[in-house]
Structure 1
Amino acid sequence: MTAPASGSAPGSAPGPAARVPAGHFDARALIDPVNPVELDAFVRAHRAANPTSVGQIIAWVFAIIALLCVVPVIGVFVMGWGYVIGGDIGVAVGGVIALLLLAGIIVGLIALVRRGIRTRTITRFRLARFAGANALTYIERIDAPPLPGMIFSNGSSRMSTDVLRGVAPRFVEFGNYQYTTSNGKQSQVHRWGYVAVKLDVPLPNIVLDALGNNALGSSMTAAFSRTQRLSLEGDFDRFFSLYCPTGYEADALYLFTPDVMARFIDHAAQLDVEIVDDWLFLYARREVSTLDPATWAWLFGAVGALLGKLDQWARWRDDRLRLAAPQPQPTPPSMAAPSPEPSGQPLPFAAPAGVLTPPPPGVAPPGRRLRRRSPWLVVGIIVGVMLIATAAPFAIGIFSFLFLR
């Protein structure tokens, strides 16, 4: 994995005309002409591995029924219009027009469906070939992916698509993700791109809200208490807003050393970042698993640059676990091993008891998740505003009656 070419903004995503840098990944499967023989073999293998489901059959049946219901209505309307214009002859002409119109609609729908299926098939084929050429595995769809990131617990109908997964030098997953939210009257589909990287040890829940992608405001950290925001040195605050659990500020400074911050600024300034449990997530507000070689060059460069700094995170330990761990019981004197007669002077290389025993890997409960804003605060503000708006006319009326009459 290599970094993107120099000359672009730090961490910026490549545009449509961006030059693809020379790298150590093979992008030919994304751009080379498709071999029809290989595509047919891929389609047959895909059909064998993914037979038509009951849900797909039901969807097609409903679509055909809907079409059969619409066809007579259009025919009657056109023939009635022909009768008004030209009587019996108009009915005949209207019938012919209705048949031609309906035939055109059916042919057009079939062509659109076939084109959509073929486009989707070619996309799957190219991504599968691209994955195979770069020591990755392609997975078309994962329903409700079991990942702990904040976007993976929102809404319903959660699924990842076009997932590319690698396991060396550590587990990395690229994918597109979507979920649906509803307020009872209308629903909205939210789409993200993500990169998931497995870490060596659990770390505190830390979120970096990229300021470069907040043109219309950010919802990434809207639910978090503002008291958890931590300002870091240098230019880091110009690119990211960092949130860490209260009491873990020193741990965040240990993890985000100046060299690590520089890597994030140079390669991921357009990506929101979350550390949760033993995972690192990079979030984009668009698809990341695409047929664009420049996008993959950018992602591989960002991940490759960060992997070189993740090893030092493996040494982090939460001292709170040392305090919470049960203290070892002293050995009874009768069971203690005999020791030589003490000289009265401590050995020059002797360490205080307990210092050489590091706390176990893990995070104490206060650091596992960022604290969210209390919903009762928002409710209280809304109720207060409503009470003020309701009581204001009465207060004005009483004031006028008492003092202005």
Structure 2
Amino acid sequence: MSAFDARPLTEPVDRRAARDFARRLRTDGRVAKLFGSSTIVAIVVGGFIAVVFGGMFLSVFVSILTSFLSSGGEDAWIGVLVFLVPLVVIGLVAPLAIFGFVRGISGQNVRWYRLDGFARANGMSYVPVLANPALPGMLFGVGSGRQASDLVRGEKPRFAEFANYRYTTGSGKNRTTHTWGYVAVKLDVPLPNIVLDAKGNNSLFGTNLPATFDAHQRLSLEGDFDEHFALYCPEGYERDALYLFTPDIMARFVDHAAALDVEIVDDWLFLYAKRDVSTLDPATWAWLFSIVGALLDKLAQWGRWRDERLVAAPTAEATSLAASGSRTQASPFATSAALLRPPPGVARQGRRLTRRVSWGSIVAGVALIVFWILSQTGVLDLIFR
């Protein structure tokens, strides 16, 4: 995945072709229609309000202007200025707003067209928008209004998805939109929930991830890996993490993905960035493809990992073989093999890390409570008087 064709991202675009492509997306229901039913209702209601209140405002304005003009002298010129200035402002702002709206739509059409062409040129597919992506990573179950956009997907040599992601938390004045980009790579087998919190993108208050984890799950690795990442794995899975993160794999994460947070959950590997990753910038795609390409040939060995804790819980197939063992000559050997080799999967205690509330959230919550108490009791007035 290190070599790719970036020409569709930069070569000249036929605006008519981009507009036709966007029209097909809306017709097929892959993106929302430009003027949906809710938009039409809003325009009709807004137009009705504008006409009613605009007419009332204009009649009042004309009566005031008439009184100024009938008075003569300097008051007449004041009336003319008072009447003309708003008209000039409206005359300038309205065309600019319309131009900005049309240009924004045209820019979005070109973006969709370029990314679709880039995906097809590289044997991939493009999805403009996807609500509530069904992925198990820590980002995808937080907040509301969850939406992935500009998804570029490849199937070979294994499934990989590059996309931007938005979700919102809070409400009213405290409403916040969170912007992320992610790369999702499908693994061969489910693995323990492991998180690599990149230290280079953390804030003053610690991790930038939407979840924090109990410190007793922190595992220190050899070399300079700990200088770049804080690795968390479920208790009891330390030896398994060491099996998965061999020195050569650690080196690849440090060399290629030190600016990204990493999560392994179920049979997925996620790379998280606190910005868009699906862009029109060829350099960004070269960087992302180099990361995935560097990891792909090492992920195959992860497919051989098995959770020994599952040996104590025979599979349905092994149980069936054991039940029929007295009737077939080869079944005792098949049963032994099935019980000695654990099936793909992760025991319950290794499927998810234990989370905790971050100190930053606790401090912010306490500060808000104290501020509310001080403001209600009048102490703030005394302090700032």
| TM-score, normalization by structure 1 | 0.76
**Structure 2 counterpart of 1:284, from 257, 273, 276:** 273
Q: How far apart in 2 are the matches of 1:278 and 1:183?
A: 34
Report the alpha carbon displacement of residue 47 of structure 1 after superposing the two structures with TM.
Answer: 3.8
Q: For the Cα contact (< 8 Å) 2:166–2:177, is it kept in 1?
A: yes
Secondary structure, in 3 states, of the residue corresponding to 1:195?
A: strand
Pair 321,332 (structure 1): closer, same or farther in 2 beyond 3 Å: closer
Secondary structure, in 3 states, of the residue corresponding to 1:197?
A: strand
Pair 176,78 (structure 1): closer, same or farther in 2 beyond 3 Å: farther
Q: Does 1:153 align with 2:141?
A: yes
Aligned 1:182-221 pairs, distance under 5 A = 182=170, 185-216=173-204, 217-220=206-209
Report the alpha carbon displacement of residue 72 of structure 1 after superposing the two structures with TM.
Answer: 6.6
Q: How far apart in 2 are the matches of 1:77 and 1:224?
A: 64
Q: Deviations along 1:193-239, whole A, 9 cap, x unmatched? A: 00011111110000000111114431327531111000001111011
Q: How far apart in 2 are the matches of 1:129 and 1:280?
A: 26
**Structure 1 counterpart of 2:22, from 43, 57, 60:** 43
2:293 alignment partner AA:
G
Q: For the Cα contact (< 8 Å) 1:208–1:272, is it kept in 2?
A: yes
Match of 2:239 in 1: 250
Q: Does 1:136 align with 2:124?
A: yes
Match of 2:342 in 1: 359
Q: How far apart in 2 are the matches of 1:205 and 1:294?
A: 31
Relative contact order (C-alpha < 8 Å, sep 6+): which is higher?
1
Q: How far apart in 1 are the matches of 2:325 and 2:145?
A: 64
Pair 122,320 (structure 1): closer, same or farther in 2 beyond 3 Å: same
2:239 alignment partner AA:
A
Q: How far apart in 1 are the matches of 2:117 and 2:324?
A: 66
Match of 1:318 in 2: 307
Q: How far apart in 2 are the matches of 1:124 and 1:225?
A: 42
**Structure 2 counterpart of 1:56, from 39, 42, 47:** 39
Secondary structure, in 3 states, of the residue corresponding to 2:226?
A: helix
Match of 1:302 in 2: 291
> Between Structure 1 and Structure 2, how many residues are aligned?
348
Gaps of 5+ in 1: 3-23, 339-349, 387-405
2:241 alignment partner AA:
A
Q: Deviations along 1:257-295, whole A, 9 cap, x unmatched? A: 111111111110000000001110000000000010000
Q: How far apart in 2 are the matches of 1:212 and 1:116?
A: 34
Q: Deviations along 1:15-52, whole A, 9 cap, x unmatched? A: xxxxxxxxx21101111111234224323323432444
Q: How far apart in 1 are the matches of 2:222 and 2:42?
A: 56
Q: For the Cα contact (< 8 Å) 1:74–1:98, is it kept in 2?
A: no
Q: How far apart in 2 are the matches of 1:30 and 1:77?
A: 52
Q: For the Cα contact (< 8 Å) 1:319–1:359, is it kept in 2?
A: yes
Secondary structure, in 3 states, of the residue corresponding to 1:315?
A: coil
Pair 63,300 (structure 1): closer, same or farther in 2 beyond 3 Å: farther
Q: For the Cα contact (< 8 Å) 1:209–1:221, is it kept in 2?
A: no
Q: For the Cα contact (< 8 Å) 1:79–1:98, is it kept in 2?
A: no
Q: Deviations along 1:83-124, whole A, 9 cap, x unmatched? A: 599435533443233222212221111011112111111111
**Structure 2 counterpart of 1:94, from 77, 82, 85:** 82
2:250 alignment partner AA:
M
Match of 2:382 in 1: none
Pair 105,335 (structure 1): closer, same or farther in 2 beyond 3 Å: closer
Match of 1:15 in 2: none
1:31 alignment partner AA:
T
Q: Deviations along 1:147-173, whole A, 9 cap, x unmatched? A: 111011000000001111111111111
Secondary structure, in 3 states, of the residue corresponding to 2:96?
A: helix
Secondary structure, in 3 states, of the residue corresponding to 2:212?
A: coil
Q: How far apart in 2 are the matches of 1:173 and 1:113?
A: 31
> Which is higher, the Rg of structure 1 or of structure 2?
1
1:137 alignment partner AA:
S
Match of 1:263 in 2: 252
Match of 1:32 in 2: 11
2:343 alignment partner AA:
P
Pair 266,321 (structure 1): closer, same or farther in 2 beyond 3 Å: same
